[in-house]
């Protein structure tokens, strides 16, 4: 284990908190704003690189603090530009982060936990169990690391890509790591300048935290992974979230919409022969009747050994039409990075298998 994890990461602190750090070392609080500029806008990896800090502060800080950047231990690049990183913290914990460059925006998908306790039966991350929660700094570090990767190599001066959309949709259930997730949201908004509406928290439906999030009255986007319209099927697919039924979850979503005025996104991962029948589509339409929402259909990204498959295209088309006929707005997630272990948790498992010289998955 590295001794680096005995130090506090500066990434994860607000400008005000960085100012307090400076004050504790006998410096003016405005040094906090200087540190924030280096950390969040310029993406430095060392305290030494913060050129306009006084030498005595730069010499003192490393006794207690480190910048808090992770180490990239694996990187995959897709033909479509998608970048997937495996990032390692000083204690050896590894998480995945994904960068998705589009013509008009740059999006980043971050993890909030090392592994996941929910154990969705179609998910590679769920197979690996749960290790620990990430800190807010570790979540923000993923955005900085992905931004760096998307700009490597920089093709031409002025072509710098800045992440402007972040989805909390990687490894882990964000609402089970509520405080760190919300602090990361606020840091990305206030320190990195990403608009609150461009931040999306995805949950499999931790109902008490949805009510809590509603009370924050933030303008972020909430995406709820439903995947089934019946309690029985949801229990089978999402075994770690069985305490609340579909109606409890939809009620919480109605409360969220009414408190924030924001439309909810329901994610529905179509699994061939499991949740893709016309009866499933009708039950979904009935469950969501009257909710200000749209449904995002996800075509399952197969994980070797789990036995789930994407439905045929005609089934997807019929499922979509059934929802649209019921007046529900439907989108379909574009498939990106299929050639680079795009499904959440696959790269981490593949690297672990390679290091242990085990057969991959």
Q: How far apart are CA 352 and CA 361, in angstroms?
A: 10
Nearer to ligand SF4, 136 or 237 (CB): 237
Binding status of residue 344 toward ligand SF4 by CB under 6 A: yes
Q: How far apart are CA 162 and CA 99, in angstroms?
A: 11
SS3 139: helix
Shortest Å, Cβ 222 to ligand SF4: 15
- Tell me, rounded to whole angstroms, the distance of Cα 116 from its chain centroid: 12
Phi first, then psi: give them for residue 267, nearest 5 degrees: -90, 135
Q: How far apart are CA 272 and CA 276, in angstroms?
A: 6
Residue pair 71/87 in contact by the 8 Å Cβ criterion? yes
Binding residue for ligand SF4, selected from 61, 118, 213, 264, defined by CB under 6 A: 118
Active site residue 351: no
Shortest Å, Cβ 131 to ligand SF4: 13
Active site residue 96: yes
Site for ligand SF4 in 201-230 (CB under 6 A): 204
- Tell me, rounded to whole angstroms, the distance of Cα 142 from its chain centroid: 9
β-pair type (106-109, 113-115): unpaired
Binding status of residue 98 toward ligand SF4 by CB under 6 A: no
Binding status of residue 126 toward ligand SF4 by CB under 6 A: yes
Per-residue contact flags (x/-) with ligand SF4 for residues 155 to 184, judged by CB under 6 A = ----------------xxx-----------
Binding residue for ligand SF4, selected from 29, 81, 119, 302, defined by CB under 6 A: 119
Tokens 């200000």 belong to 292
Residues in contact with ligand SF4, total (CB under 6 A)? 12
Point out which residues bind ligand SF4 (CB under 6 A): 116, 118-120, 123, 125-126, 171-173, 204, 344
Q: Which residues form the catalytic set? A: 96, 344
């Amino acid at each position: 284990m590295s001794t680096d994890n005995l130090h506090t990461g500066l990434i994860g602190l607000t400008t005000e908190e960085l100012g307090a750090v400076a004050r504790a070392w006998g410096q003016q609080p405005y040094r906090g704003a200087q540190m924030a500029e280096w950390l969040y806008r310029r993406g430095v990896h060392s305290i030494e690189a913060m050129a306009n800090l006084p030498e005595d502060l730069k010499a003192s800080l490393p006794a207690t603090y480190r910048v808090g950047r992770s180490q990239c231990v694996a990187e995959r690049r897709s033909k479509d530009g998608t970048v997937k990183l495996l990032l390692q913290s000083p204690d050896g914990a590894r998480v995945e982060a994904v960068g998705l460059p589009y013509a008009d925006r740059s999006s980043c998908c971050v993890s909030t936990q090392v592994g996941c306790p929910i154990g969705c039966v179609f998910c590679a991350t769920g197979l690996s169990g749960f290790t620990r929660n990430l800190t807010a700094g570790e979540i923000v570090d993923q955005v900085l690391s992905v931004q760096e990767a998307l700009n490597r190599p920089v093709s031409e001066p002025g072509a710098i890509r800045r992440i402007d959309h972040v989805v909390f949709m990687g490894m882990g259930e964000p609402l089970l790591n509520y405080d760190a997730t919300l602090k990361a949201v606020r840091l990305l908004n206030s320190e990195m300048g990403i608009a609150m509406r461009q931040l999306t928290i995805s949950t499999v439906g931790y109902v008490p935290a949805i009510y809590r999030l509603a009370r924050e009255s933030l303008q972020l986007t909430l995406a709820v992974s439903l995947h089934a319209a019946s309690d029985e099927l949801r229990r089978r697919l999402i075994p770690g979230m069985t305490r609340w039924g579909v109606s409890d979850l939809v009620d919480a979503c109605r409360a969220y919409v009414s408190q924030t005025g924001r439309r909810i996104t329901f994610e529905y991962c179509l699994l061939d022969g499991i949740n893709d029948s016309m009866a499933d589509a009708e039950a979904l339409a009935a469950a969501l009747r009257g909710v200000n929402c749209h449904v995002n259909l996800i075509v399952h990204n197969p994980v070797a050994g789990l036995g789930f498959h994407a439905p045929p295209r005609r089934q997807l088309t019929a499922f979509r039409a059934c929802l649209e006929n019921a007046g529900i707005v439907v989108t379909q997630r574009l498939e990106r990075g299929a050639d680079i272990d795009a499904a959440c948790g696959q790269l981490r498992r593949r690297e672990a298998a390679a290091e242990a010289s085990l057969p991959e998955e």
